[in-house]
Chain A
Amino acid sequence: MFDDIAFWLGYLTNGKHLAWYASFQFTIFAAVMGGLFAILFGLTGAMLKSSRFWPLRLLGTLYSSIVRGVPDVLFFLFFPLAFEQAVEWLVATQVCSPEMIAAQTAAWPPCGEANWYLDTPQYLMLASVSLGIVYGAFASNVIHGAMRSVPKGQLEAARAYGMSAAQVMWRIHIRQMWVYALPGLSNVWMLIIKATSLLSLLQIADIVLWADRLGAPNFLPTVGLVHDDWRWRYYLVLFVFYILATWVSERGFEALMRRAGRGILSEGRV
């Protein structure tokens, strides 16, 4: 009995498991940063959409409909690759001489000196930005709708007080918009949480990759077979982890909505 407990304690705290627990930071970081970027891109998109100049309006609409019209995983893969290549191309125009380009045998980069090697923090940042771009398109639609729900009287009153257009926007419009946007933003947040499971596609050693490594049949020459294929148990743990994360966020957003909706009749309580 005690042997069993000691074994499981030892097993669950061995180096690989500790690395697995540590890798949760990547997932949490990507979710939080992705969420912040999504708000940023969402606000920008919503402002573009309600802009007075039609080219900006078109840009906002194109942004949200194109990003939304293709699978998130496609954009999630495409953006970091494209960004890396764009930087490499920019560097190549500066550092590559014609001889170096002629000497390069691989298709990319133009010359070896322009190669940009990305490590985990950089990939993580790129992944967060691409999460932000993808779900910013969703958020822009939510925010756009919420901005239209702010009572017109509030804006008129602000203008009557002599506020400039920018002041009305920041002090009144965006302040009051959150109450209407929160239910939609909570859904976007759930989508971002679920999308963080894709981090391993960008060579980040995240919780999914570690679960796969830890669960794979484990054979040590000195001991023999430690365990056979346990991957499904590890994935089950992740399955439960994500459900719990969803549940916790739901409760969190409920509290946030109650707080944002205080002093406002009915609307905040939906």
Chain B
Amino acid sequence: MQAFLSDLGFMAPAVMFNIYFAAASIPIGFVLAIFLALGKASSNPLISRLSRGYIYAFRGSPLFIQFFMFYSLALSLNVALWKPWGLSGVVLHPLFMGPLVLILNTAAYTAEIFYGALRAVPGGELEAARAYGMKPAQQFRRVTWPNLIRLAWPAYTNEVVFLFHATAIVYFALPVVGGQKDLMITAKDLFERDYNAFLHFSVAALFFLCVSLVVFFVFGLIYRRLIRHMPPQPGLRFSFNWLR
């Protein structure tokens, strides 16, 4: 019991790093994903191909490899670019590199969700908007976007939880700087001290589970607000979506 409580104390600061990685990458990834989804649906073949390829590449390869690839790329550009600009401390820092790769990764997954939602936006509403004489920008802001976000929100909630889980591998690929350890590294270090795998990994799992539940709760509240004008649906509830 004592050991459990001390583990909780050890990991409370560590979970902040995981939360930081997720919180730093979600907003930017969200915005990027909108453009990627619109790009994939674009009628311009070049834009469409590029967005399609980007989404396919980042969804088809492991995040772990993406971390290694971008970090080693940044390392090899260090002498040519970052150092002369005096940026190497920033660019090569895991607190910058981690969110950067997570943004690139989550943008692809989120874009796929948004693209699916974009195609499900009711055509009749768009026709009505055109009949009212709305300009394309107006159509997007007033008709497409509200529908899109409402359709995509449940899947997007799951993507956010997946992204939070994905922050567990950041420090397996990037170096730990100045004792800034996240949950997994803390659990691993504690394990290497007394070899009590069951305790330390369970506590780390508990933290991941708790934050995931908070995410589900908060995103559920937002979803309730998004659909507040719709007729109440029977038994609306959030459950884990099983696939990313």
Contacts and interface: CB of A to CB of B under 8 A. Distances in A.
A247 interface: yes
A107 B195 contact: yes
23 contacts: A71-B165, A71-B168, A74-B204, A77-B184, A78-B197, A81-B201, A141-B242, A142-B242, A142-B243, A191-B244, A197-B65, A198-B172, A211-B68, A230-B76, A232-B76, A235-B68, A236-B69, A239-B57, A239-B65, A242-B62, A242-B65, A243-B60, A246-B61
Given A78-B201, A82-B198, A243-B61, A198 B169 contact: yes
Given A70-B205, A78-B201, A236-B69, 13 more contacts: A69-B205, A82-B197, A108-B195, A191-B243, A208-B65, A229-B75, A229-B76, A231-B72, A232-B73, A235-B65, A235-B69, A239-B65, A246-B61
Interface residues of A, number: 46
A112 interface: no
Contact of B209 (A69, A187, A228): A69
Nearest to A234: B72
Contacts of A242: 60-62, 65
Interface string A27-49: 00000000000000000000000
Interface in B159-175: 165-166, 168-169, 172
Contacts of A232: 69, 72-73, 75-76
A73 B167 CA distance: 10
B56 interface: yes
Q: Pick the most buried of A69, A187, A188, A198: most chain B CB atoms within 10 A of its CB.
A: A69
Interface of A is mostly: helix
B242 A138 contact: yes
B191 interface: yes
A207 B46 CA distance: 34
Interface of B is mostly: helix
A59 to B, nearest CB: 17
Contacts of A212: 68
B244 to A, nearest CB: 7
B144 interface: no
Contacts of A171: none
Given A138-B242, A239-B66, A73 B197 contact: no
Interface residues of B, number: 40
B93 interface: no
Interface of B: 56-57, 59-66, 68-69, 72-73, 75-76, 165-166, 168-169, 172, 184, 187-188, 191, 193-195, 197-198, 201, 204-205, 208-209, 212, 240, 242-244
Given A208-B68, A231-B72, A232-B69, A197 B62 contact: yes
Contacts of B75: 229, 231-232
Contacts of B205: 69-70, 74, 78
A191 B56 CA distance: 14
A31 B66 CA distance: 19
A225 to B, nearest CB: 14
A201 interface: yes
A198 B172 CA distance: 9
A120 interface: no
Contacts of A188: 243
A197 B64 contact: yes
A73 B183 CA distance: 12
B195 A85 contact: yes
B68 A70 contact: no
Contacts of B195: 85, 107-108
A242 B172 CA distance: 19
